[in-house]
Chains A and B, each alone.
Chain A
Amino acid sequence: MSESHPVDFKSYFRRCVYVFIAVVCTTSLMIAASFLPHYGWPAKVAMILAIACINAFVVAGFLMHLLSEKKLIYTVLGFTVFFVAGLFVLTIYALHDFPTGTQTH
C-alpha cells in the first residue's frame, strides 16, 4: 500500500469493486476448467494454475499496491521468487532421482 499518493475513498471503492469482480470471474474460470472434459490432468493443472496466477496478480498488484511499490520491495521479492523457484525446480528434479535398484511406480 503506497503512502505517497493522495487517497480518494470513492476511487478506491470503485477499484475494490473491479478487483472483487475479477476475483469472482477468475475463480469461476478455475472451477470451469477443472470440469472440462477431454483434457488430461497436466493440461487442466496448467490451465488452473495460470488462472490462479492472474488472480494473484490482481490481488497483489491492486490490493497490496505492488504495481507502484518502492525498488527495495521489488528486490526483496525478486530474491524470494528466485529461491522459491529453486525449491520447486529441485523438488521436481528429485522426483526422478531414485536409488539404484529401488522399485518405482
Chain B
Amino acid sequence: MDIPYTVQPRPDIGLYNAKLGIWLFLASEVMLFGGLFSAYILLRVGAAPGYWPHGWLNVWLGTLNTIILALSAITTLLAWVACKVGHFGKFKFFHACTLALALSFLCVKMYEYHDKWIHYEIKLNDGTFADGHMRENDPAKDYVKIEGRIVNDETLLYDLRSQGKIKMEELEIPRSKIVSMQNYGPWHNTFLAIYFTLTGLHALHIIGGSIVIGYLWGPGSKLWKKDPERFTNRIEVSGLFWHFVDLVWIFLFPVLYLT
C-alpha cells in the first residue's frame, strides 16, 4: 500500500507529509532551545556583580563559525534548487560543500573546547590566583607549568574585555603552593556549564544533520533515479532542518560571545 501525500501536497493544507512533519519537529526544537536560552537568562541575571565572564570566548573564531554555517545554509539551498531544475551533478557538488563546511564548523568548535579544557584556574595558598593554559602537569614532578598570569583579585579573571591585551608568561608553580586547581570545563562555573550545554547540543544537531545530509549525498541519492520528486522533497526537508541549526547559531553567537 502506498502512503499518500509523500510527494504531492495534501489538497486541504497544501503541504506534503514530510514538510508538515519537519515544521512540527522544528517547533518542538524551538521549545527545547527556548528552555535553555531562558536558563541562560536566569543564570546571567542572577550572577553576582563582577562574576559573569566577558571575553572568555574568541570572537573571531565565533565569527568564522558564523560565516561557515551561513555558507553551508546557502549551499544546502542551492543543492535543493539544483534538484528542482534537474541538475544532479550540481546537487552532488553543493551537498558535498555543505558536508565539508559542517566538518569545518565542528573542527573549529573542537579547537575551542580543547582551548577551554587545557585552561586552568589555580588557587594558591597566598590568596592569589594563577590562570592560564597548562603546559606541564606531570604528577611525578613537584611543580606544574602554565602559560598565563597571577592576579590578586579573582574578579580580574572574569572581565577580560575591559583589561585590553593581557601579558602572559610561563610560570612554574610548586605543587606545595596549590590549594585547588580546576580546568575550564562545564563544572568550573555556571557560564561554562550553560556554554557547553548550549553549544554541545547545537554541535549534536550539526552531527545529526551531517549524517542525514551525508546519507542523502551518498547511498540515499539512488532514489533520484527512481523518484526524483520524492528525493527533492527529502533534500528540502533536510535543508529546513539545516537552516534551523543555522538560526540557532545566529542567536548563540551573540549571546555567548558578544554579551
Residue of B nearest to A22 (CB): B70
C-alpha gap A70/B13 in the complex (Å): 7
* Per-residue interface assignment for chain A, residues 1 to 20, with 1 indicating a CB less than 8 Å from any chain B CB and 0 otherwise: 10110011100110010011
A23 touches B243 (CB 8 A): no
Q: List 27 A-B contacts (CB under 8 A).
A: A1-B239, A9-B78, A9-B90, A12-B77, A24-B67, A27-B67, A27-B253, A31-B59, A31-B63, A34-B258, A41-B259, A44-B259, A51-B254, A59-B73, A59-B250, A64-B243, A64-B244, A70-B13, A70-B15, A77-B23, A83-B31, A87-B38, A88-B41, A90-B38, A91-B38, A92-B41, A92-B45
A105 touches B46 (CB 8 A): yes
Indicate if B81 sits at the interface (CB-CB under 8 A).
Answer: yes
B49 touches A105 (CB 8 A): yes
What A residues does B39 contact at CB under 8 A? 91
User: Shortest CB–CB separation between residue B169 and chain A, in angstroms?
Assistant: 27
What B residues does A20 contact at CB under 8 A? 70-71, 74
Indicate if B171 sits at the interface (CB-CB under 8 A).
Answer: no
C-alpha gap A84/B26 in the complex (Å): 13
A27 touches B20 (CB 8 A): no
* Given A7-B81, A12-B77, CB of A23 within 8 Å of CB of B20: no
Chain B residues with CB under 8 Å of chain A are 9, 13-15, 20, 23-24, 27, 30-31, 34-35, 37-39, 41-42, 45-49, 59, 63, 66-67, 70-71, 73-74, 77-78, 80-82, 84-85, 87, 90, 233, 236, 239-240, 243-244, 246-247, 250-251, 253-255, 258-259
B34 touches A55 (CB 8 A): no
Number of A-B contacts (CB under 8 A): 134
Residue of B nearest to A51 (CB): B254
A95 touches B46 (CB 8 A): yes
C-alpha gap A93/B20 in the complex (Å): 34
Residue of A nearest to B27 (CB): A80
* Given A1-B80, A27-B66, A72-B13, CB of A63 within 8 Å of CB of B27: no
A7 touches B84 (CB 8 A): yes
Task: Name which of A1, A8, A90, A92 has the most chain B CB atoms within 10 A of its CB.
Answer: A1
Q: Which residue from B31, B42, B66, B250 sits with its C-beta under 8 Å from A91?
A: B42
What B residues does A72 contact at CB under 8 A? 13-15, 20
What A residues does B67 contact at CB under 8 A? 23-24, 27
C-alpha gap A94/B243 in the complex (Å): 32
C-alpha gap A76/B21 in the complex (Å): 11
C-alpha gap A78/B14 in the complex (Å): 18
What B residues does A34 contact at CB under 8 A? 59, 254, 258-259
Within 8 A of B (CB), among A52-81: 52, 55-56, 59-60, 63-64, 70-73, 76-77, 79-80
A56 touches B250 (CB 8 A): yes
B46 touches A16 (CB 8 A): no
C-alpha gap A33/B37 in the complex (Å): 21
* Given A83-B31, A84-B31, CB of A1 within 8 Å of CB of B240: yes
C-alpha gap A41/B71 in the complex (Å): 31
C-alpha gap A97/B233 in the complex (Å): 48
Task: Name which of B24, B27, B80 has the most chain A CB atoms within 10 A of its CB.
Answer: B27
* Given A34-B259, A56-B247, CB of A95 within 8 Å of CB of B45: yes
Q: Which residue from B46, B77, B85, B90 sits with its C-beta under 8 Å from A1?
A: B77
